[in-house]
Amino acid sequence: MALADADLIRQPASVLANAIATGEVSAVEVTQAHLDRIAAVDGSVHAFLEVTGEQALAHAADVDARRASGATLGPLAGVPLACKDVLTTKGVPTTCGSRILQGWRPAYDATVVERLRAADIVMLGKTNMDEFAMGSSTEHSAYGPTHNPWDLTRIPGGSGGGSAAALAAFEAPLAIGSDTGGSIRQPAAVTGTVGMKPTYGAVSRYGLVALASSLDQAGPCTRNVLDSALLYAAIAGHDPRDSTSINAPVPDVVAAAQRADVRGLRIGLVRELGGEGYQAGVRTRFDEAVAILTDLGAQIVEVQCPSFDFALGAYYLILPSEASSNLARFDGMRYGLRVGDDGSRTVEQVMGATREVGFGAEVKRRIMLGTYALSSGYYDAYYGQAQKVRTLISRDFAAAFAQADVLISPTAPTTAFKLGDKVDDPLAMYLNDIATIPVNLAGNAAMSLPIGLAPEDGLPVGLQIMAPPMADDRCYLVGAALEAALLDRWGHPLLDEAPQL
């Protein structure tokens, strides 16, 4: 059957790209199929905050025209993508899931968005997220929660639940997320998708609205490892507009994904990331994946990272401290929401009223925590001590990578929980990121890969692959090898098992 007659929305991005390049199907047809899917199911999923259908179809038509004229286009040209609403997009609303930016249309594109456009990847719209990326369930969005396509009563992870849900619902074959403490990887784990957190500085942060500047990192979200590698290659690379951007060659992640061979590779099991607090079904699928890696010829070793036990506490001092500084710019004076400006109030009163109405409860909680941690008399005791823990975590990673080429763990301690179960319990919510946070504190690369369904609830489980800085290709090497072995076992992609919306 010709691809044009098949179900376009379920094809991998690489397959769609090849079909567009060879003329089997047009970019317009592919884009329209996904817009139709969004119209059909997003009322239930709520993955998108803004759908840019007209712009998407116009870009797709331009791709088709240039292809017909003989122009050489990129490897993902014409393939649609959903973008997390934390990246500035010129002329398109960018809200970060917050009322305080409601209606703001940036005058410029983020570097990631520029590179997507340059690669002729077609943007379908902006996806829902926890407000300013503060959350693990996408329930803290000012515009309502996103629902997990596997079970609409459950969370899709956070903060980038919209991007992950769009993939799992077949609303887009590619997506972009951002990861400050697991916001790409944890949603990937609970939706059965692939999420990659690049090395800090490998992908530009210019135009990525800052939560915690020393932790934030944009990255690719996809349904398989090769698609992730192709999208990574499109957005990564040095950017002089980002002072933290690494001026070094981008690892060849596409070649690594295509090689997919772990024979002789040393894979470290992190003792501190597992055991108590981890759902039995998560452990079952993880142990099976370890056995598969052994069968593929990898050498499994156990490593210890004792400072990881303190990562959660350190993270929730460093992140709020940086957030309290970064979010000071949202004051109702320059852009976005403005409340109480009736001519009778002072500037300070308008700022206070705007921030009171514009910020949600979780954002206010973290701003207060961060401001306190940075205050006179407490800085050394809290923020300073947290930074010392961060150094110890980096040293633990360095010692572990001396024994192993990559490290692995479960991505999240449980499968997707019910909407509302933890929204009023901040500590329980924060514990969802216990396995992902150490990577952000150290600046390493990490990927979440789906490894099956938990026996007790039939929901997706993710495995996390961690690599040293600028060794992102190792994540793709291991991820692609394990993915291929799991496909042999299942005989079909995991998402074929997802309930139909």
Q: Which residue ranges make up each domain of the chain? A: 3-307+390-497
Confidence of residue 4 (pLDDT cuts 50, 70, 90): low
Please give the average per-residue pLDDT across 411-431, as a whole number: 94
Q: What was the pLDDT predicted at 327?
A: 95
pLDDT at position 162, please?
Answer: 98
- The answer to whether 187 and 150 are in contact (CB under 8 A) is no
Active-site choice (14, 84, 136, 163): 84
The Cα–Cα gap between 453 and 76 comes to 30
DSSP bridge partners of 461: 452
**Mean pLDDT in the chain?**
95
Contact 454, 284 (CB under 8 A): yes
Contact 13, 120 (CB under 8 A): no
Q: CB-based contacts of 199: which residues, under 8 Å, 6+ apart? A: 217, 246, 443, 444, 445, 469, 470, 471, 472
Average pLDDT in the 299-327 region? 97
* The CATH fold of domain 3-307+390-497: Amidase signature (AS) enzymes (3.90.1300)
Query: Average pLDDT, stretch 386-414?
Result: 98
Choice among 141-150, 310-319, 346-355 with the minimum mean pLDDT: 346-355
- Tell whether the model's pLDDT for residue 54 goes beyond 90: yes
Q: Which of the four pLDDT bands, split at 50, 70 and 90, describes residue 121?
A: very high
| Cβ neighbour number for residue 70 with a 10 Å cutoff | 6
Q: What is the percent of the chain where pLDDT is above 70?
A: 99
| Encoded tokens for 293 | 């890696």
Give the pLDDT confidence score for residue 1 in this predicted structure: 39
Instruction: Choose the catalytic residue: 26, 98, 136, 159.
Output: 159
343 contact partners, CB below 8 Å, separation of at least 6: none
408 pLDDT above the threshold of 50: yes
Q: Tell me, what's the pLDDT at 119? A: 98
Q: Which residue in 14, 26, 163, 183 is the catalytic one?
A: 183
Give the tens place of pLDDT for each residue, 269-279. 999 998 889 99
* pLDDT (average), residues 294-315: 97
* Predicted pLDDT of residue 494: 83
pLDDT at residue 201, rounded to an integer = 98
Average pLDDT over residues 193-217: 98
CB-count burial class (<10 Å; 0-12, 13-18, 19+) for 153: exposed
Give the model confidence (pLDDT) of 126-183 as tens digits: 999 999 999 999 999 999 999 999 999 999 999 999 999 999 999 999 999 999 999 9
Determine whether 418 is an active site residue: no
Q: Is 213 a catalytic residue?
A: no
Give the integer Cα–Cα distance in Å for 174 and 164: 9
Q: Are 465 and 404 in contact (CB under 8 A)?
A: no
- pLDDT of 210 over the 80 cut: yes
Each residue's pLDDT tens digit, 68-82: 999 999 999 999 999
Q: How many CB atoms lie within 10 A of CB 16?
A: 26
Strand ordering across the sheet containing 122-127: 48-51, 122-127, 80-84, 174-178, 218-222, 194-197, 445-453, 460-467, 406-410, 266-270, 299-303
* Residue 422 annotated among the catalytic residues of the structure: no
